[in-house]
Amino acid sequence: MAALLRAGRLLLGAGGAARRAGGAAAGRAGRRFAGSSGAPASSSGGGGGGGGEEGAAPAYADYPGLHRVPFTEELRASEPATQGAVPCFRVLDGMGNVIPGSEEFEIAEEQAVAMYRTMVKLQVMDTHFYEAQRMGRFSFYMTSFGEEAAVVASAAALDGIDQVFAQYREQGALLWRGFTFQEAAAQCFGAGLDACKGRQMPVHYGSRKLNYHTISSPLGTQLPHAVGAGYSMKLQGDPGIAVAYFGEGAASEGDFHAALNFAATLKVPVLFVCRNNGWAISTPSSEQYRGDGIAGRGEAYGVRAIRVDGGDALAVHGATKLARELTAQGKPVLLEAMTYRVGHHSTSDDSSRYRAAEEMRSWEARDPVKRFQMYLEGKGWWCKDQEASLRRTAREEVITSLDEAEELPKPDLSELFEDVYDELPSHLAAQKSETLDFARRNPELVPPGVPVAP
C-alpha cells in the first residue's frame, strides 16, 4: 500500500495539493479558524462563519453550496497548470521488471498465469475475428489491441457478483468471466447461441449469467445506468458493486458528468473505469480536453481518483483492487487507465489517415501482453513452449468457433418483435404482421439465412 500512497492522492482524490495550497492562502490572509461553533459572526454582513474574535471577519465561507472554503483577500484566478497532475501508478518497468519497492503488488502465480492466458486468448480472438470481418463473414468488429492489460487485469480484480456495464472494447472482461469463443462468434454472426437473437451489432455482447449488461452503441449511456444499478444494490444490501467501463471520448458526453455527480451525492458503490487510449475515433485527446485528463475531474465531483499505467497488468490489478475496496464502502472511484489504441477504431475506420505510421509502430512495440509475458518468464512461471502451445490452441479454437457459428441457424424474422413486452401491444402486432407479410412476398429482400415463419 505504501507504493500506492507514494503514487499520490489515490485516497484523497486528485486535488490534495490544491487544498493544501488553499490552506496556505488562508494563513496568509490571517483568517485561521479559531472558534468551535461555525456560526456566522454577527457583524460579518452575510455569507460567512468560522469564529475568531466577536465581530471579526469570518475565516471560512459557510454558504450552502460550499464545503468549508477559506476566505481570502487576494483576488486571483486559479491557474489549472499550477495544480499539478494526478500521478500515474505503475509496478512494472517497460521490460517487465518489478520496480524496487513495488513487490507488494505482485500476485500469486496461479492468478498471474490465468490473467496472461486470457490476454493472449483475447489477442488471438481479436486477430481472427477482425480478419473474418474483413472477409465479409459478418458486418463489424472492434479490437482491443494495446488495451488488453487494462481490461483483463481490472476484470481480474473484481468480484464475479459485480455488475459490469461496458462500452465496446471490453470483451477481455467477458473472457475472464468465462465467456467462450463460441458465444462471441455466435453474437457476431447473430445466430445460434446469440442471447440477443441477432438484434444487436457485432461485439455488442451481453451475458446475464456473467453479470455483464448488454452493450449499447451510443456513447456514455451505460454510465448513469451503472450508477442506478449501484444505487439499487446499495438499497438492497447487495455486497457487489457496479462497474462502468468507457473511453476518454465518452467522458465528453453529458451522461459522464451526471453519473459522477449522482454517484458522489448518493454515495453509490460504483467504479468508473476509463480507458484513456488517446483517440476518440479520429479525435486526439489533445483536442478533447485541456485539463488533467479524466482522473483530474474526480475531485470536482467529490469522487476519489486513481491514474494507472494501463499497459502494466500488475499496476492495473492493484489499482482496481484498491478502488473496489473503496467503492464497496460507498466511496465511488474514478480509475483512469492510460493506454493506447494500437488498432483502428473499428473495421469502419482507417486510422492511417489521421495517425502517423511511426506513432503507431512505436506503441505497438510497447505491447502490454509482451510486457507481462516478460514478467512471467522472469519469475519462472512461463516459457516459450507454453507460449507456442497456448497460441496454437487458441487459434484452432477461434477458427473452429467462427466456422461453426457461421453455420448456425439464424433467428426467425418474427423474433424482431419479441422480448420487449410481456404481451405484444396492438400497434406492434400490426407492424409484425405487415413486416412478415412483406417478407413473404419479397423473399429476395430478406437477409440471407434468416427464416420467415409461414
State the catalytic residues. 131, 217, 345-346
DSSP 142-176: ---TT-HHHHHHHHHTS-TTSEEE--SS-HHHHHH
CA 169 to chain centre: 9
Q: Is 141 helix (H, G, I), strand (E, B) or coil?
A: coil
SS (H, E, C) 391-452: HHHHHHHHHHHHHHHHHCCCCCHHHHHCCCCCCCCHHHHHHHHHHHHHHHHCHHHCCCCCCC
* Amino acid at site 377: E
Q: Is 21 helix (H, G, I), strand (E, B) or coil?
A: helix
Task: Give the separation between CA 452 and CA 136, rounded to whole angstroms.
Answer: 23
Task: Give the separation between CA 212 and CA 70, rounded to whole angstroms.
Answer: 45
DSSP 228-286: HHHHHHHHHT-S--EEEEEETTGGGSHHHHHHHHHHHHTT--EEEEEEE-SEETTEEGG
* Amino acid at site 364: E
Task: Give the separation between CA 340 and CA 362, rounded to whole angstroms.
Answer: 11
Residue recorded with cell 468508473: 272
Quick one: which of 364, 167, 365 has its CA closest to 250? 167
Q: Residue 74 is placed in which grid cell?
A: 487576494
> Exposed, middle or buried: residue 336 (CB in 10 Å: 0-12, 13-18, 19+)?
buried
